[in-house]
Amino acid sequence: MSVESLKASLRTVPDFPVKGILFWDVTTLFKDPGCLREAVDILYDYYKDKGITKVVGLEARGLVLAPALAIRLGAGLVMARKPGKLPAETYSGQYMKEYGPDTIEIHKDAISPDDVVLIHDDLLATGGTVEAVVQMMEKHFRPRKMMANFIIELEELNGRAALPADMDVMSVIKV
């Protein structure tokens, strides 16, 4: 299995969720046990020696691989969810998606200043979601270090520009 095999397992859906958006669907990668294992293995191999203590999975598809990656890294799992989905007190961050405004929340007790945080999502497009999470981390949690990774990066949308220049950012598949 290779990154090219993972890329070939993806499906694109035109005009979803709104007209003009080409949606990159990772569910086709997730349903294949070999692809799923390969994606987790690639991420684990990259991060295994970086001292990660918390993996932050972003709703919704970022929550699919985040638990497996956290288990493999011996780290805790933190969920970044849509408003009203987390049961305790939260911090929230607002951002713009390609097709409108949105909000994401994290429990106030999720991260400590000693944590080394790995933010995980399925897709880096414009970078709005991950930028909102990074801003929450910097403002409220101030972890020792932050890194980010994605299964897919849409390079033409330049989402990396929304992240700190010195942040370790890794994408498995770049299109």
Q: Is 19 helix (H, G, I), strand (E, B) or coil?
A: coil
CA 174, distance to chain mean position in Å, is 14
CA distance to 98, 153, 159, per residue, from 20 (Å):
10, 18, 18
**Residues forming beta bridges with residue 121, ordered by sequence position:** 150
Q: Contact, 148 vs 116, CB < 8 A?
A: no
Between helix 62-73 and helix 33-47 the angle, nearest 10°, is 50
Terminal CA-to-CA distance of the chain, rounded, Å?
Answer: 18
Question: Tell me, what amino acid is at 170?
Answer: M
Q: Tokens at residue 90, please?
A: 């939260």
Residues labelled as active-site residues: 61, 98
In angstroms, the CA 8 to CA 10 distance is: 6
In the block, residue with structure tokens 């220049």: 165
